Amino acid sequence: MNGRPRTDFLARVRESWSDPPDWVVALAEACTNKTQGEVARLIGYSPSAVSATLANKYTGDVAEIAERTRGAFLGQHVICPRKGRMRRDVCMAWQAKPFAQTSSDRVAMFHACRSGCPHSRLKGE
C-alpha cells in the first residue's frame, strides 16, 4: 500500500446515482477489489471513463459500458452464432476488432459480428 487511503467507490456511487443499476454497483465493487486501471482494462475502457461512469457523469456510450461490465463482473453470457457461449464483454471485444486477415477465425468473426448477429451492436457492412 502506498499510504494513501483507498477510495470508497461504493460511497461515490451512492452519492452520484439515486438508484444505481446492478452493473454500476458491480463496477464499483470491482474497483474496490482491483485498481481502477485494472478494471478499465478488463472492460476495454480508460480509467477516466470508469471514474466518470461511477460518478454518473460519463457522456459516452453508457449502454456499452454496462454490457461490458455485466459480462466481466456479473457473468452475463451470450450465445455467439460462430463460437457458442461467451461472456458479453468478450462478445463486445470481438465486435470492436477491426478487419484483419491474420487468421481465418478473425475474418469469420469480423463478418459474423456484422451480418445479423442478434448480439451485435454494429450495423451490417
- What tens digit of pLDDT does each residue of 60-74 get? 999 999 999 999 999
**What's the confidence (pLDDT) of residue 1?**
47
Q: What separation, in Å, do the N-terminal and C-terminal C-alpha atoms of the chain show?
A: 49
- Closest C-alpha to 91, from 62, 61, 122, 52: 122
Mean pLDDT throughout 104-124? 90
Q: Are 125 and 114 in contact (CB under 8 A)?
A: yes
Spatial distance between the Cα atoms of 18 and 52, rounded to a whole number of angstroms:
16
pTM of this prediction? 0.84
Task: Answer yes or no: is pLDDT of 95 > 90.
Answer: yes
Each residue of 25-52: pLDDT tens digit? 999 999 999 999 999 999 999 999 999 9
